[in-house]
Each structure stands twice: as structure tokens, then as C-alpha cells.
């Protein structure tokens, strides 16, 4: 546990958290919507500071990031809590729980995780599994240590974060994979508790900062895949963030409170074809046996540059600087 950074005292008692757009107002003992921050003696306390619930070396492709150090591995860490409440959450066992579920877990200092990243064959550290924004202070301390070791910081996030904390975090980041859950503001609010305007604004901020950005869109049948809205989203990504932005279309499988059947392969491929009309780098995730929709082809000369099959990655056409060996088109971040 640690005192949190972004909060204010209210004139008539209580405190207000300023980290994310919920702006939770908390009286003594109350928890925020994320289940991870609470008012303890008129201080905002980050209850997940030092609590590691998931820890693993993963292929970078699993984040997913396909144009950032392809074929390399990254140490990945998660804690608990989330500021959204999605029925289909794939990590509900840690994301939608509070401190009491993890009372058996002892404190892990940030420096210990950093040292493990430095001692491993990892490119750095990924903040992932549950929403890292709600363990902002823990992430920040690790991210500073990772930079001291000249390693990479990767954030996997819903990007529901207020401008000031985002601005303080961005200089420490090297890559972001952000979940864009819909292009319908009412869906965002009613089904996730988040705000479409905020993620659009924050995606622009990340793209303008020069931090490597990839987007994941989980395809939820009959919920967020209406063709006209999907086309609007793809056009917006191309126009506002740049047509080099990498888009991952991820296949839904039943999880948490949702038991609808998985997204059909037919729908996945239709959306893939639609997105490819505007964006050269679109990939299907959670779809087995389809290396064409997982491999990277140069947007300029169309040659295959990275062959992927599951999490097996083979570089077949990249220069060490990440450009295409055939036409020198810039493709990936590799240093």
C-alpha cells in the first residue's frame, strides 16, 4: 500500500481521486470504482502497490505488439483492479477483484521486478493483465527503474486516464497497446463504464508523442461490430492517428459474465477485409491456423517480412533497423 499521487481534499470532507475520468469521491473507508484505491484517514491509498498477481515472460506478440521488437520476449507483470467493468473481461479473476482476494500475497518492491527484467533475456517490462492505470504509482516506480537500465516500458491499457497523469507517464513509455472497445459513445458508457471521447483524445495524445502505438479491437458479435460504425472507426484511426497504425482484431470467446458463442470466423474475416481497405497493418488475433492474417507484408512492395504462426515468429525480410529488406520501407521499431 502507498499514498496515491493524484487526488484532492474536498472542502466539506472526503477526497476525490483525479487519476481517471470517474473522479471517485470517497469518504473514510470507501473504495473507488476500480476496487484498488481507498480513502484511509483522509488519504488516497493505492492498495495494489507492491501486489503482483501475474508475472511471466511472454512473447511481445502476446501483448499484442507486432511492430515492436518482433520475435523478442518481455517480462510481464499485473496487479489487481480495473476502472472499467466489461461483462466479457478475459482477466476478471484479477481485474474485477479487490485487495481482500489477494491478502495472501506479500509485498514485492518495484526494484525487485526491475532487477528481474534486467537479469532476463527480456527487452524490458510490460504492464498488463489487469488495468495498469489503477496501479499507477507502482507502475511509475518500475518504469523509472526500467529506464535506468535502458530497457523498454510497454503499457497494455484501456487508456481511461486523465490528461495530467498521462502526460507524466508518457515520457517513460516506449510502446502502448490500447483497447478500443467500440466507436459508439453510448456502448462505451453503458457496457464498460468508460468514455469514447476520452480514449479518442488519449489515442491522439499517444500517437502525437511518438510512443509506438498499436490498437486492439475485440469483436463482440451483435454488440460492437456494426459495419458502418466499424468503417467509421477504421477511417478515424487512419485519418487521426495515421495509416501506419497497427490494428489487431481479436476474436471474442466466452468469459466472465458473458456466455454468447465465440465470434464467427466469417465475421472476423469480413472485418479484416474492410479494415485493410484503409490500414495496411491489420491482424486477426485468437484465430488459429491463419498465417496470412497474422503475418506482416510490406505495405509498399507487398513482400512477406515477418511470418507468424501462433506465437512462433520468424523474421524473413527485415533489416536490423526494422525496415523492409526489399524496398527499405520503415516497418518495425527494433532499437
Chain positions contacting ligand SF4, by CB under 6 A:
17, 19-20, 22-24, 32-34, 37, 83, 134
Q: Which is nearer to ligand SF4, 20 or 238 (CB)?
A: 20
**Calpha distance 91→127 (Å, rounded):** 14
- CB-nearer residue toward ligand SF4: 21 or 221: 21
Least separation in angstroms between residue 309's CB and ligand SF4 is: 39
Least distance in Å: CB of 169 to ligand SF4? 13
Residue 158 is given by DSSP the state -
Identify which of residues 19 and 180 has a Cβ nearer to ligand SF4 in the complex.
Answer: 19
Q: Which is nearer to ligand SF4, 8 or 327 (CB)?
A: 8
Please identify, using beta-carbon distances, which residue of 9 and 302 lies nearer to ligand SF4.
9
Is residue 61 helix, strand or coil? helix
Q: Are 213 and 203 in contact (CB under 8 A)?
A: yes
Gap between the Cα atoms of 115 and 304, Å rounded: 37
Q: Which residue's C-alpha cell is 509506438? A: 212
17 or 60, CB closer to ligand SF4?
Answer: 17
Contact 283, 247 (CB under 8 A): yes
Owner of C-alpha cell 535506468: 148
Find the shortest distance in angstroms from Cβ 105 to ligand SF4: 20
Q: How far is the CB of 41 from ligand SF4 (least distance, A)?
A: 16
Least Cα distance to 181 among 165, 169, 193, 173 occurs for 193
Smallest separation, CB 1 to ligand SF4 (Å) = 14
The b/e string for 277-308 (b: 16+ C-beta within 10 A; e otherwise) is ebbbbbbbbbbeebeebbbbbbbeeeeebbeb
Report whether 48 contacts 4 (CB < 8 A). no
In terms of DSSP bridges, do strands 54-59 and 122-127 run parallel, antiparallel, or are they unpaired?
unpaired
Give the residue nearest to ligand SF4 (CB).
Answer: 32
Looking up cell 491482424 gives 283
Minimum Å gap between C-beta 96 and ligand SF4 is 12
Least Å distance, CB 242 to ligand SF4, is 29
Residue position matching grid coordinates 520503415? 330
Compare residues 24 and 155 and give the one whose CB is closer to ligand SF4: 24
Amino acid at each position: 500500500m502507498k499514498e496515491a499521487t493524484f487526488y484532492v481534499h474536498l472542502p466539506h470532507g472526503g477526497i476525490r481521486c483525479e487519476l481517471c475520468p470517474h473522479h471517485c469521491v470517497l469518504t473514510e473507508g470507501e473504495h473507488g470504482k476500480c476496487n484498488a484505491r481507498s480513502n484511509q484517514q483522509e488519504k488516497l491509498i493505492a492498495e495494489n502497490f507492491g501486489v503482483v498477481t501475474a508475472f511471466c515472460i511472454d512473447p511481445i506478440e502476446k501483448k499484442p505488439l507486432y511492430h515492436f521488437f518482433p520475435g523478442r520476449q518481455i517480462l510481464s507483470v499485473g496487479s489487481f483492479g480495473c476502472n472499467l467493468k466489461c461483462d466479457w473481461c478475459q482477466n476478471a479473476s484479477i481485474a474485477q477483484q479487490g485487495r481482500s482476494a489477494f491478502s495472501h500475497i506479500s509485498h514485492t518492491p518495484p526494484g525487485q521486478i526491475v532487477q528481474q527484467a534486467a537479469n532476463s533475456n527480456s527487452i524490458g517490462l510490460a504492464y498488463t493483465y489487469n488495468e495498469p492505470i489503477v496501479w499507477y504509482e507502482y507502475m511509475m516506480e518500475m518504469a523509472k527503474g526500467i529506464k535506468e537500465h535502458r530497457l523498454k516500458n510497454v503499457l497494455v491499457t484501456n487508456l481511461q486516464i486523465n490528461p495530467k497523469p498521462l502526460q507524466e507517464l508518457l515520457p517513460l513509455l516506449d510502446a502502448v497497446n490500447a483497447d478500443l472497445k467500440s466507436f459508439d459513445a453510448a456502448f462505451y458508457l453503458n457496457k464498460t463504464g468508460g468514455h469514447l471521447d476520452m480514449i479518442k483524445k488519449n489515442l491522439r495524445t499517444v500517437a502525437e508523442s511518438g510512443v509506438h502505438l498499436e490498437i486492439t479491437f475485440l469483436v463482440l458479435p451483435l454488440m460492437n461490430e456494426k459495419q458502418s460504425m466499424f468503417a467509421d472507426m477504421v477511417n478515424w484511426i487512419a485519418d487521426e492517428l495515421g495509416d501506419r497504425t497497427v490494428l489487431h482484431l481479436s476474436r471474442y470467446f466466452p468469459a466472465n459474465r458473458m456466455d454468447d458463442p465465440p465470434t464467427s470466423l466469417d465475421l472476423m474475416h469480413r472485418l479484416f477485409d474492410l479494415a485493410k481497405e484503409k490500414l495496411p497493418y491489420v491482424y486477426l488475433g485468437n484465430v488459429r491456423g491463419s498465417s496470412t492474417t497474422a503475418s506482416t507484408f510490406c505495405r509498399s512492395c507487398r513482400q512477406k517480412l515477418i511470418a507468424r504462426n501462433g506465437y512462433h515468429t520468424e523474421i524473413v525480410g527485415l533489416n536490423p533497423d526494422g525496415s523492409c529488406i526489399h524496398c527499405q520501407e520503415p516497418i518495425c521499431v527494433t532499437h
